[in-house]
């Protein structure tokens, strides 16, 4: 490295929001137990694949942890006798494949560390909590009066974001929560610029943005301290969950789904749009709006995690908007996330697809038009509305936007830092566009493969049909030939029978030149029926001769023959 070359900031290049898929390819027996060979595929890019070996007991351990979510997961039962039978192992393999599919298709389950480390041990078997605590302790070491009280385990969905209860001597009565976040793949600001941005964010004031007590950054991540809120986030309110529980228990299979009424949705939606517009006008990009980053206080929205954009962590809805090339800038991302948040507020449950084209009839027409303008497949294919467009929509413009004199809106960012933020935002959007291109090319490749396989299948079907027609034709010809032979055989048998009868009737007497040892002649055939002659009828001459011959044959007696002596030779 050159002496004056600027060192790139440390960041995690792995995107934890990328989808994972698994296929159990085969099984082998190792040291008397069965291991399943699993091929894992990350994201939409086919080259990111690897193989792992897992025993049935590994699945049991994963299942025991995921059961805390309350979701009905079906794991094949345990079997002690006969568990090495190949037929049973193949049956279990199919059941384990279904189990893995159900885990990896659920965004809550697949976000858990045990699920990720199960399929990707190379990247997720690190002691994340211990490392994060070390970073927090180092960051607070230079701050007077701050100390860590204890960890708050797994209250958030991010694997690389950890929460701690902290104490400040200057604020003894306040309950404070610190969050440590590792830099993500979209972190493009250098350390000096990051510190300047964090300083500006700490001094920011806005009625719809949650205030920050302390904001620090190091070369590996950022530490942000906020006051605790006993009611939790908007998602906690919708799910009826306690804020301090683990996210698996809170959001895995929530018992309650409490949608907001139309007036609340209009009010909170208008406030969210005002906060997004403020951040956009000030040049601070966001992209991390969802119901877990919203707090409701006295009928007012407060946005959380404003710092996530500059920290470079992937958005919660990134796997969804990666599929739509029109959602390629920060404003479009904010609007798309806003649409998902509105949907969750309206129906009490998150949208599990990237688009939706049908809404229940009980949905308000104005609210439906807002949702369709953001979440319909046509809108995502063409273009989403802007923040200003939505503020002018009748559903939000009818809301009375009232602020008290004490409400201040302030965020001062130096011009040089704004330029760096603009460059970082451009790099973020460029990476998004490149990955969207790769996703589209991968989809095209899949479609081509499907078409090719479809053409091959059609060829096979045509070939099979031709073979069937050929066999049917041959069978028909064979049947016709057999019928013809049968007909000819019957005619031949009839002719042969007639000829045989005639020949029997004209047999000549046996030769008398044999010795006395010659066996006796076979009995003569029965005489033909007598012809009854009526008066005036006469027997023809030929018939008379025939009757005379037959009579001589019948009356022949060999005892009347004269014996002769054989001549000496």
Q: Which long-range contacts (CB under 8 A, 24 or more apart) does 237-241 make?
A: 237/296, 238/291, 238/344, 238/345, 238/348
Same-domain check for residues 136 and 89: no
52 and 97 together in one domain = yes
Please report, for residues 49, 65, 216, 309, 430, the alpha-carbon distance to residue 424 in angstroms, rounded to integers and kept in the order given: 30, 39, 19, 10, 10
Q: Please tell me whether residues 101 and 231 are part of one structural domain.
A: no
Rounded Cα distance, 264 and 367, in Å? 12
Q: Which of 421, 446, 471 is the last residue of a domain?
A: 446
Q: Is residue 506 part of a domain?
A: no
Alpha-carbon distance 251 to 243, whole Å? 11
Domain membership of residue 492 (yes or no) is no
C-alpha to C-alpha distance for 268 and 396, rounded to whole angstroms: 9
End-to-end CA distance of the chain: 134
Please report the pLDDT score of residue 46 as a whole number: 65
Kindly state whether residues 96 and 152 are assigned to the same domain: no
- Whether the Cβ atoms of residue 109 and residue 115 lie closer than 8 Å to each other: yes
The verdict on residue 4 lying in a domain is: no
pLDDT along the chain (569 residues), means of 10: 46 88 94 94 82 96 95 91 88 96 94 95 92 94 92 92 95 94 96 95 96 94 95 94 93 90 96 97 96 95 97 95 94 98 96 93 93 96 96 94 86 96 97 91 79 74 82 82 71 50 45 44 54 46 64 70 55
The Cα–Cα gap between 152 and 177 comes to 9
Closest C-alpha to 265, from 234, 305, 288:
234
Answer for the pair 167, 178: CB distance below 8 angstroms, yes or no: no
What's the CA gap between 73 and 69, in Å, rounded?
Answer: 10
Structure tokens at 390: 């939505």
The separation between CA 114 and the C-alpha centre of its own chain, rounded to angstroms, equals 20
Query: Domain ends where: 123, 147, 177?
Result: 123
Query: Structural domain tally of the chain?
Result: 2
User: In sequence order, what DSSP letters do the residues of 304-359 get, joined into one string?
Assistant: --TTHHHHTPPPTTHHHHTT-TT--SHHHHHHHHHHHHHHHHHHSS---SS-----
Q: What does DSSP assign to residue 402?
A: -
Q: CB within 8 A of 110, min separation 6: which ones?
A: 19, 20, 103, 104, 116
Beta bridge partners of 28: 35
The answer as to whether 198 is a domain residue is yes
Point out the domain boundary residue: 81, 103, 123. 123
Q: Is 76 inside any structural domain? A: yes
CATH number at residue 43: 3.30.1520.10
> Do 257 and 405 belong together in one domain?
yes
Same domain for 86 and 226? no
Q: Sheet holding 20-30: strands in order across?
A: 20-30, 33-42, 49-54
Residue 97: which domain range? 20-123
Is 132 inside any structural domain?
A: yes
**Residue 359 and residue 344: Cα distance in Å, rounded?**
13
Query: Looking at residue 113, what is its pLDDT?
Result: 94
Joined tokens for residue 266: 């209009």
Q: How far apart are CA 97 and CA 60, in angstroms?
A: 14
What are the tens digits of pLDDT across the range 153-197?
A: 899 999 999 999 999 999 999 999 999 999 999 999 999 999 999
**Domain-located, residue 535:** no
Question: Dihedrals φ, ψ of 179, to 5°?
Answer: -120, 130
Are 234 and 303 in a shared domain?
Answer: yes
Task: Indicate if 115 and 133 belong to the same structural domain.
Answer: no
How distant, in Å, are the alpha carbons of 24, 74, 481 from that of 94? Answer: 8, 12, 52
313-367 confidence digits (pLDDT tens): 999 999 999 999 999 999 999 999 999 999 999 999 999 999 999 998 889 999 9
Q: Tell me: do 354 and 378 sit in the same domain.
A: yes
Phi, psi dihedral angles at 384 (to 5 degrees)? -90, 155
Q: Is the domain of 106 the same as that of 212? A: no
CATH number at residue 385: 1.10.510.10
Residues 106 and 153 in one domain: no
Place of tokens 């959007």: 429
Q: Which pLDDT score, from 0 to 100, does residue 410 have?
A: 94
For 337, left (φ over 0), alpha (ψ -120 to 50), or beta?
Answer: alpha
6 assigned to some structural domain: no
Residues 200-229: tens digit of each pLDDT? 999 999 999 999 999 999 999 999 999 999
- Between CA 403 and CA 405 the distance in angstroms is 7
Whether residues 62 and 150 share a domain: the answer is no
């Amino acid at each position: 490295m050159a002496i004056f070359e600027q060192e790139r900031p440390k960041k995690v290049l792995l995107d934890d929001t990328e989808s994972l898929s698994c296929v159990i390819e085969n099984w082998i027996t190792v040291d008397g137990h069965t291991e399943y060979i699993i091929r894992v595929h990350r994201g939409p890019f086919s080259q990111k694949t690897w193989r792992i070996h897992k025993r049935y007991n590994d699945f049991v351990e994963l299942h025991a942890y995921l059961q805390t979510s309350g979701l009905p997961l079906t794991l094949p039962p345990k079997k002690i006798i006969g568990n090495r039978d190949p037929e049973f192992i193949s049956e279990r393999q199919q059941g384990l494949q279904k189990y893995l599919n159900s885990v990896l298709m659920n965004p809550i389950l697949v976000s858990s560390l045990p699920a990720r480390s199960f399929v990707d041990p190379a990247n997720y078997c690190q002691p994340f909590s211990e490392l994060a605590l070390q970073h927090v302790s180092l960051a607070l070491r230079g701050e007077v009066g701050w100390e860590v009280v204890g960890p708050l385990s797994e209250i958030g969905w991010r694997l690389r974001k950890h929460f701690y209860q902290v104490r400040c001597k200057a604020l003894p009565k306040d309950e404070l929560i610190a969050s440590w976040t590792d830099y993500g793949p979209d972190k493009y600001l250098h350390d000096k610029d990051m510190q300047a941005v964090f300083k500006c964010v700490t001094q920011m004031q806005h009625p719809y943005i949650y205030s920050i007590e302390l904001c620090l950054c190091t070369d590996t991540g950022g530490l942000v301290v906020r006051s605790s809120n006993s009611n939790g986030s908007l998602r906690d309110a919708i799910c009826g969950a306690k804020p301090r529980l683990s996210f698996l228990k809170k959001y895995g299979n929530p018992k309650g789904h409490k949608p907001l009424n139309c007036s609340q949705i209009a009010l909170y939606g208008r406030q969210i749009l005002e906060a997004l517009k403020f951040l956009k006008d000030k040049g601070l990009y966001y992209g991390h709006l969802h119901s877990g980053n919203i707090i409701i206080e006295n009928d007012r929205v407060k946005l959380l995690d404003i710092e996530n954009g500059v920290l470079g962590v992937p958005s919660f809805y990134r796997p969804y908007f990666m599929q739509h090339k029109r959602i390629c800038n920060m404003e479009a991302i904010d609007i798309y996330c806003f649409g998902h948040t509105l949907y969750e507020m309206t129906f009490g449950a998150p949208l599990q697809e990237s688009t939706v084209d049908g809404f229940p009839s009980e949905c308000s027409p104005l609210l439906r038009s807002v949702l369709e303008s953001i979440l319909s497949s046509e809108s995502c294919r063409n273009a989403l509305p802007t923040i200003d467009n939505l503020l002018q929509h009748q559903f939000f413009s009818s809301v009375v936007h009232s602020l008290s004199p004490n409400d201040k809106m302030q965020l001062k960012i130096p011009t040089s830092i704004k330029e760096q933020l603009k460059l970082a935002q451009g790099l973020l959007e460029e990476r998004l566009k490149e990955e969207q291109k790769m996703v589209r090319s991968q989809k095209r490749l899949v479609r081509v493969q499907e078409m090719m396989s479809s053409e091959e299948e059609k060829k096979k079907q045509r070939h099979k049909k031709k073979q069937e027609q050929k066999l049917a034709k041959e069978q028909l010809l064979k049947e016709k030939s057999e019928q013809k032979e049968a007909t000819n055989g019957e005619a031949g048998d009839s002719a042969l029978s007639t000829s045989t009868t005639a020949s029997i009737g004209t047999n000549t007497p046996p030769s008398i030149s044999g010795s006395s040892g010659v066996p006796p002649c076979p009995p003569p055939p029965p005489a033909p029926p007598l012809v009854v002659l009526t008066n005036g009828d006469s027997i023809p001459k030929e018939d008379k001769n025939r009757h005379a011959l037959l009579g001589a044959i019948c009356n022949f007696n060999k005892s009347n023959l004269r014996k002769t002596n054989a001549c000496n030779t």
